[in-house]
């Protein structure tokens, strides 16, 4: 089975993903740009991590990675997020586009799943009341999936590499992408700021080679 869809076509679909209805700074709810999401999804597809795989979108927000994984032929797709309003919008979008995706309103610290692949844009852990939130997501993903694609601030990668190895993972690949943060909270001083972020492909250390 091969999915005949160009990356630009996927990007155009993902551009229709609903925005966060009421972005919460405590949850660091920043919409993943469709350009970045399509790049990551196609990269994971080419690495044989989506087609006919069980995919989980951890901290899915309004579902951009969930939609992309479903369109690219995932065997099953599960999106998990604590924000009820975001999940409602994600379900509506999936229904309109006839995408078979399961969405759960759940704190990821309490979630239990088994996946071939996790694709996620976790909180960067930049807010005082949310420090190390990215590590919580990584712990959960590495425990329950074989392969993880995760977005993080580029400046934190050297530190995260040691943490990931400590919890049984290994960074297999990394590529940097410019992430535009639009001003949506009171503490933002610029209308838009481009932040260097990197997508990590993480595998279990035991699966190396």
Spell out, as residue ranges, where the chain has pLDDT lower than 50.
127, 183-188, 191, 209
pLDDT, position 131: 61
Cβ 190 vs Cβ 149: under 8 Å: no
- Rounded to 10 deg, the angle between the 133-144 and 157-166 helix axes is 40
pLDDT, position 91: 97
Cβ 20 vs Cβ 86: under 8 Å: yes
pTM of the entire predicted model: 0.88
As its CATH architecture, domain 7-14+31-207 has: 3-Layer(aba) Sandwich (3.40)
CA 123 to chain centre: 10
Strands (DSSP E) contained in 17-160 are 54-58, 76-81, 102-105, 115-120, 145-153
pLDDT, position 209: 47
Cβ 182 vs Cβ 200: under 8 Å: no
Residue 172, C-beta contacts closer than 8 angstroms, at least 6 positions apart: 201, 202, 203, 208
Tens digit of each residue's pLDDT (9 = 90 or more) over 138-194:
999 999 999 999 999 899 899 899 999 999 999 999 988 877 765 444 444 554 567
Cβ 197 vs Cβ 176: under 8 Å: yes
Q: Where are the domains of the chain?
A: 7-14+31-207
pLDDT, position 187: 43
pLDDT, position 207: 53
pLDDT, position 185: 43
């Amino acid at each position: 089975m091969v999915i005949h869809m160009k990356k630009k076509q996927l990007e155009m679909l993902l551009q229709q993903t609903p925005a966060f209805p009421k972005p919460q700074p405590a949850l660091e709810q920043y919409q993943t740009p469709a350009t970045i999401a399509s790049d990551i999804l196609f990269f994971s597809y080419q690495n044989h991590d989506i087609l006919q795989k069980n995919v989980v979108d951890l901290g899915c927000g309004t579902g951009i990675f969930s939609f992309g994984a479903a369109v690219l032929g995932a065997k099953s797709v599960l999106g998990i997020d604590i924000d009820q309003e975001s999940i409602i919008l994600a379900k509506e979008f999936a229904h309109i586009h006839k995408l078979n995706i399961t969405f759960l309103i759940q704190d990821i610290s309490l979630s239990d799943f088994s996946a071939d692949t996790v694709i996620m844009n976790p909180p960067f852990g930049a807010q005082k009341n949310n420090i190390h939130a990215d590590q919580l997501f990584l712990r959960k993903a590495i425990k329950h999936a074989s392969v993880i694609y995760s977005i993080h601030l580029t400046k934190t990668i050297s530190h995260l590499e040691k943490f990931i190895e400590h919890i049984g993972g290994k960074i297999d690949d990394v590529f940097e992408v410019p992430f535009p943060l639009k001003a949506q909270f009171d503490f933002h001083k610029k209308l838009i700021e481009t932040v260097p972020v990197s997508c990590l492909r993480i595998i279990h250390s035991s699966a190396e080679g």
